[in-house]
Structure 1
């Protein structure tokens, strides 16, 4: 099993290109199931999660071809021959459940295993199920699989209000509603840029959608969708992660392709902590002001609030802040698993339920640590960049799910980092 070795204490200077968004691409790829014409995605990230979604779509009978070193995905679902999303693939990744809505809408039936993914807390499917049932679907859970069936005349438009602004549920219901008869209104819909990106792609395919980026989505169903070409939006979580690199080490890094509106609430917290973020013609330039960063309090919220997917990375920064910070996690109940590993590096962290109190120390110390989930793994990388001595991060297969060529990107800015291949 691979590990990553970091020798910390080096300022970072240079530029880092930001990839297409993993979470956006994982929603866009199942959209191919809605049409028998080709869907082509450009600016696709080269990640293990994209490979998993590719395997899932191919298992259903879709064709997926990678071009231009994997940054272009050419897909076609003209001849689907399977409606069962098998456990062996779905268990690897939470986003696998996003094939449910498209298959149900186009084929009229689907059997999808309950999903897997990172162990960061319960992420039940109830919102997905209730939303699709509102469209007329009958869904039963048997032997770990969701057995879904549309009524004889197909799905029908409906009004609904999500109990929680779930990104995944919004995506699944949105895709299904594009082919439902009549009008669908989703209230308390998620507002994330990934939702906006999906809606824009679906509109290129012929869908009639209004309200993306707001809490109310209105979809007028159409008889069929056609092919399209669509660029994947910039990954705001990768962007935020690399913005933290010069914040924690010192130096100046320009994140190419970064846009402030993708990370506005996050950038505000960085400003409060003493980090300068400047918009440039090519992206965002980030640098730390003189001295230690300031302690700040953070509460995770649905977009446009502070992203839960940047909480672990922000904690790494605050481990070296001047003062005490409190981080409140409101999205997932088990997302402080990185705290014990940061403590191994000399951090002063106390976790009580959904709150973590972080008292900054002057210097972290290198140590052997273990990644527990995707974002936790990169938080340990960030901490190691600022730590004194050598840090070895094991179980980095988590990292490969969400960050492409991380060692090369950080190494190009001066980081002393290398991947060690496992046996």
Structure 2
């Protein structure tokens, strides 16, 4: 698809990248078959191919309307279309650029988002990305949870304290952990369980206190500059540990992992950070990429634990299976530990969480959640396991079946 960039985008890094991505689209439409919003709405403009047409027109300088923004806002950025696309179209990068340009063009024309929507986006960017604000706010919400409206109660998980203390043992082998913005408050056991498992395997998990949000929340809601600042701050926080010999940067939330793995690309034009950003991305590994290397040790540690016939439904987050293209690792690891793992029908489709999407687009998010839960429940699981805090919280809000991070199962078996 040939694109002639408008003057305001010509010779800019984002414009040239968007033009290159659009140029790979061959209009085949395979993406529409795996797009959740197209399946829900049946509108070509709410599928990847239609959105690419809209972005192409925008890149060429044609008028941008609120309708253009609406169709781009409705995209989950699940990147299922990338897994389906035979031409290798990097749709996720394109829609990030497209949303930013749409917002800038509409703002320049004096067309603003409604005040309520602007406030919601500001609260998400400023509240979720600041653990010192989010943690106390969540605790307050948990105290009054039964009195909250259903829509808000769905976003406030019940209190779940860690199952054990953070290990204090010092090991020669060390790995860094991104603590995350909301995960320590919403589900503190995930990172503790990870540290306890790795401690049993002779690896010390280290948290850099100055590291914060991975940048995804700001970047995916149009604040690219703020997102890039988050990335630079994390690189600065991690760099002394990297120079001291940390082996890897461990991600327990696949949504953060897919973003940190992209630091090298997003900061490639930043002379001060490009080289370090590339190093950080190369060192970043999802937990499911690390623990299989210790499979024999895990089997030995879990050997004395009685098998209870536990059956779990595995929900692979989009950021893991489509964003990072990691498939099969969690299932294989859990199966090797004696857990029966089942995939539900249409396991490639998004659950509707998609970061801030469930807050900004609830009318689409919740039908996707309910459909996903119906298919997960059809596997008759004792529990549902996933690899991203957003998916876990979103799914748990619609079911009484326990929903947890898969490492919490491993921790119960090897740290008993």
Under TM normalisation by the shorter chain, which class is it? Answer: under 0.3
* Greater share of helix: 2
Instruction: Give the structure-1-normalised TM-score.
Output: 0.27
Instruction: Give the structure-2-normalised TM-score.
Output: 0.27
Which structure is higher in RCO with an 8 Å CA cutoff and minimum separation 6?
1
